[in-house]
Each structure stands twice: as structure tokens, then as C-alpha cells.
Amino acid sequence: MRVATWNVNSIRTRVGRVVDWLVREDVDVLAMQEIKCKPEQFPYGPFEDAGYEVVLHGLNQWNGVAIASRLPIEDVQIGFPDMPGFLKGHEGPDLPKEARAIGATVDGVRLWSLYVPNGRALDDPHYHYKLDWLATLAEDTRRWLAENPHLPLALMGDWNVAPLDSDVGDPSLIPGVSTHISPPERTAFSAFEAAGLTDVVRPLVPEGYTYWDYKQLRFPRNEGLRIDFIMGSEAFADRVAGASIHRNERKGDAPSDHVPVLVDLTDAPSDDEDEDRPMIFG
């Protein structure tokens, strides 16, 4: 099974590019972020013509997440338990939930499409919302894997965190000033490794960015960020046979500022195969 994630930055603007790429790369399942539309506005037709079913969560012209699959989609879940909400200028437990998370099971694999809050600035309430959002998701991840240690689980999407210094090529990001690279954000990201997940792409693709700002010729200068990740459980990571970052999708007419990240999964191993299968989890 070929699985990918892509912050498409408005699916109505880029539906042709996205569907063409899905067909050309023979992708089975795509997690999308920043679809920027309500369900009734989503361009289902081109996906359906190409053989894909789509489930999505979108509330307005901001945010929005979706999963497209040419395999049956089961157990769709909008948001994760206790997911924090946000409303500028307000505090409390009952703030409106944004369209940032959708989960589904495809061929026995539990997949989430996630659009982690940006954070905006270190002194902005959105930054604290981001940290709360990540902490809650990490706690839910620990619980999911404690309940089912053999669950093939992947959290995929735009994490809005560059966890390593080597993930940062954009000179506008300044330590101590900018979001995405602050120690609390990086600690929040590392909590997912402690919860039982690993970046399944980095062992196979150690270098490469996934995002380049539209401004200041960031892409031609390769001044990007690596902020799009597929974080997999051990049962998921054990099945990863290949991975790639599709940098060329940042080229051409009206590209997204992000590019797809893709992994190939082998079939679920039988008990006899478990000990012989090479592992990237660790």
C-alpha cells in the first residue's frame, strides 16, 4: 500500500495537480491538509473519476483536513478525544474546535491526517494552543498504543515543527524569536517518540525539506523547512519498504508551498515472517 501526506494549500485551487500526482505516482491513500473548504465545496468529481473516495473535515475557508483512498475507508473519526479548541481573545474548556484532525482505517492501518496549529508567535495565545494541542494528541497516542500495542498507526501531516537544526534552511527563522524551532515545540514533537512513534521517512530520506515559503525566492534558493512528517508506530514502521519526498511538486504553475511525503508499505507480515523482516523502528 502506498500512503502519502500533502498540505495542498487549497484543494479547489490545486485539485488538478493533486489528482494528476495521485494517478501518476499510483498512490493508494493520501492525507491532505489545508483543504480550505466546507464539505459541500470540495471537488469530489475529479477524485471519484480517478477511483478515490474522500472523507473530510472542513468548516470554512481556513484549515481543513481530508483523506482520499482508492481502498475502502472505515471507522472515520473527526478530531481526537479532548482536542483543544481556540478562539482569539477567549479562554476556557469549551472553545470551538478547528478542522485539524481526521482519522480513518484503511486496509487495517489506522491513519490520521493532521494540521498542527501554526503557533504564530512565541507570545501569541495560538502558540500555547499549539503546545496544548500537541500534548493532548501525544497523550491520546500513548493510550491508543497501550490499548493495542500491535496497531499499525500513522500520524501524518503538517506538524509545523522543525525538530532538528538540519530541518531548517529558512534564514528568517531565528532561535528564541521564531515559532516552529523553539525548545518547547521540539519537546512537544519528541513526546510522540516517547509515546511509541518514529519518523518513518527520515531513516530512508535523511535530507530534504518539505516546505518553502512563497516569498524571497525561498524555493530557488532551497531555503526550506522539513515540517511534514509521517510518524508511525512500530507495527507501521516495520512495514515501511520505501519513502520519498516529492520536491518537484513545488515547481510549475500554482504549486502548494508544501510537497508530498510518501511511504510504501508491505503487506502485514505473518507470524513466521516477523523475525526476518528488516526494521527501521528505533
199 is in an annotated binding site: no
258 is in an annotated binding site: yes
Q: 210 near 261, Cβ under 8 Å?
A: yes
The H-or-E segment that residue 232 falls in is: strand 228-233
257 is in an annotated binding site: yes
Overall size of the chain counted in residues:
282
Enumerate residues 6+ apart whose C-beta is below 8 A from 191.
Answer: 134, 135, 138
SS3 for 23?
helix
d(CA 26, CA 3) in angstroms, rounded, equals 10
7 is in an annotated binding site: yes
160 is in an annotated binding site: yes
SS3 for 2?
strand
3-state helix, strand, coil in the chain (%, to 5): 25, 25, 50
What are the catalytic residues?
A: 115, 158, 258
82 is in an annotated binding site: no
Bind-site residues = 7, 34, 158, 160, 257-258
Bind-site residues for Mg(2+) = 7, 34, 158, 160, 257-258
